[in-house]
Structure 1
Amino acid sequence: MTDPLVKICGLSTPETLDAALDAGAAMVGLVFFPKSPRNISIENASRLAERARGRAEIVALMVDPDDGLIDEVVERVKPDWLQLHGKETPERCARIKMRTGLKLMKALGVSEGSDIDAAMPYIGIVDRFLFDAKPPKGGEVPGGNGIAYDWSLLKELDLGVPVMLSGGLAPDTIAEALAISGVSAVDVSSGVERERGVKDENLIRAFIANAKRAGVGE
C-alpha cells in the first residue's frame, strides 16, 4: 500500500495552508476565479505560495483565463501547475502550455461514462486530468460543489496520463472513493470546509489522515 497523492484546493489563509502542508498534502490549490467563494487575490496567493514552496506543489486554478491573468499569476505566484477548469479547448491548452512552460491539469466534468471521452483530444497536451462532478444546472462555479458521481467510472482507466479524482470527497467518504475508483490521486475543496469557501483545519487533517490510512494499491 502506498499513500495517495492528496491535493487540497481553494486555500486562502496561512493557517489552513499550514494544516494541509503539515498533514502531508502533495499539492495545494489557489483559486483565481471571481465567481468562486474561494477566489484569492494575487497578492495573497503570492504570500501563500512562498509559504508552501518546496513543501508541496503549487497549483493555480483558473477558468477560461485570458493571457493577461495567466501572465500575472505565473510571474507573481510562480505556480508549479496551472489547473484549467473551464471550457478550454485542446488548442487553447496547447497555447497556454507553450506560453508558460508549466505543467497543465485539465479538469473535466463527469456525470456518466461517455463524459470520460471528452479527455481524448487533450491526451499528449495536458499532464494530468482531474475528473470532477458536473456542476448543478445553472451553477456558476464549475468545481467545488460537493457533488459526487459514480467513482467506479475511473476504475482501471488508462489514458496514458495521470488521473485525479474530485467530487463529493470528504473525510468520511475518501476511503470508499479510493476503493471504488482505484485512483492514486485525489482533490478536495468543499469537503474540508465548515462553511462554503471557509476551510477547516481539523477537516483538512482528517481528510489527509483518512486518505493515507486507506492507501492505494495492494
Structure 2
Amino acid sequence: MTRTRIKFCGLSRAEDVRLAVELGVDYLGLVFAPRSPRKLLLGHARMLRDLVPEEIAVVALVMDNPRADVEALVEAVHPDLLQFHGAETDAFCSGFGVPYLKAIAMGGTDEDAAALAAGFPGAYGLLLDGHGAGEQGGSGRRFDWRRVPQLDKPVLLAGGLSSENVATAIHTARPWGVDVSSGIESSPGIKSADRMRTFVDEARRADSLPG
C-alpha cells in the first residue's frame, strides 16, 4: 500500500499542533510570509515547534522574505524544511543549509508549471498549488488534478483540498503528499479538530483502496 504523506499548514495554536501530532501527520507548516493572515512571530513559532516530536517534520513557509529574516527564523525555529512561495531563485532557496520545497503556481498552463519546476534542481520537493503566479498560497483554490506534470521529485498537492475531495485528489493525481490549510480551518489559522481528523481519515482511506 502506498502511503500518501500529509502536511497540515498554517498552524497557529498549541492545541492544533498537539492534535496534528496525535493524528500522525507527517509535516507541520508554520507560516512566516509577510502578507499571510497566518503569519507567526518567532517566539510563538518556537513554542509551537517545541511541541513537535522528531518523527514529524516542521516546515517554515516564506514568500519573498529578506534573506536576514529567513536566517533569523532558521536560527530561532530550526525547521526541518523551508518552503518558498515567491519569486525566489534556486540559489537563494539553497542558501540556508536547510532542505527546501518550492511552490509551483498551477494557475497557468502545464508548460509553465513544468518550466518553473525545472528551474529548481536543488529542491527536495515541489508543492503544486492552485494559485496564480505571484499570488499567496493557502487561498483554497484548486486546479485540475489531471494536470499534474511528471516530475522527478516528490510532489505535494495543494490548493482547495478538504476531507470531501482529498480521496479523489489522491486517486487522480497519485501525489507523494497532500498539503492542506484552509480546508481544515474554521477561520484563517484556527483549525477545526473535526476537519483535521476527517481529512486524515479520508487520506488514509484513499491509500487503502486499490488503484
C-alpha distance in structure 1 between counterparts of 2:102 and 2:5, whole Å: 17
Task: Look up the SS of the partner of 2:196 in the other structure.
Answer: helix
* Aligned twin of 1:44: 44
Task: Report sequence identity in percent.
Answer: 34
1:151 is aligned to 145
Matches within 5 A, 1:1-218: 1-93=1-93, 97=94, 99-111=95-107, 112-117=109-114, 118-123=116-121, 125-135=122-132, 142-154=136-148, 157-215=149-207, 218=211
CA contact (8 A) 2:13 2:190 kept: no
Q: Work out the CA distance in 2 between the residues paired with 1:126 and 1:42.
A: 24
Aligned residue pairs, count? 208
* Contact persistence 2:34–2:65 (CA under 8 A): no
SS in 2 for 1:68: helix
Calculate the TM-score normalised by the size of structure 2: 0.92
Letter in 2 for 1:12: S
Q: Deviations over 1:11-67 (max 9, x none)?
A: 011111111111111000000023111111110110111111314100000001212
- Following the alignment from structure 1 to structure 2, what is the Cα–Cα distance between the partners of residues 203 and 174? 12
1:108–1:131 CA contact under 8 A, matched in 2? yes
SS at match of 2:199: helix
Amino acid at match of 2:186: R
In 2, are the aligned partners of 1:3 and 1:211 still within 8 Å (CA)? no
Determine helix, strand or coil for the equivalent of 1:52. coil
- Equivalent AA in structure 1 for residue 41 of structure 2: S
Point out 4+ residue stretches in structure 1 off by more than 4 angstroms.
none
The 10-residue stretch of structure 1 (1-10 or 77-86) with the greater mean CA deviation from structure 2: 1-10
Q: Distance in 2 between matches of 1:141 and 1:37?
A: 14
State the distance in 2 between where 1:33 and 1:120 align.
24
Please give the TM-score of this superposition, normalised by the length of structure 1.
0.90
- Offset of residue 135 of structure 1: 4.3
Displacement after TM superposition at 1:158 (Å): 3.4
Query: In the aligned structure 2, how far is the partner of 1:121 from the partner of 1:147?
Result: 24
Unaligned 5+ runs, structure 2: none
Question: Cα RMSD (Å) of the superposition?
Answer: 1.7
**Cα distance change of structure 1 residues 170 and 161 upon mapping to structure 2, 3 Å threshold:** same
Is contact 2:106-2:132 (8 Å) kept? no
Residue type of the partner of 1:91? A
Q: Deviations over 1:78-110 (max 9, x none)?
A: 0000000111122322xxx2x321101000110
Aligned residue type for 2:130: A
Task: Provide the rounded CA distance (Å) in 1 between the counterparts of 2:96 and 2:88.
Answer: 15
The Cα offsets for residues 130-156 of structure 1, whole Å up to 9 and x where unpaired, read as 0101249xxx851000111011111xx
Deviations 1:139-180 (A, max 9, x none): x851000111011111xx432211110011001110011111
Work out whether residues 23 and 209 of structure 1, in 8 Å CA contact, stay in contact via their aligned partners in 2: no
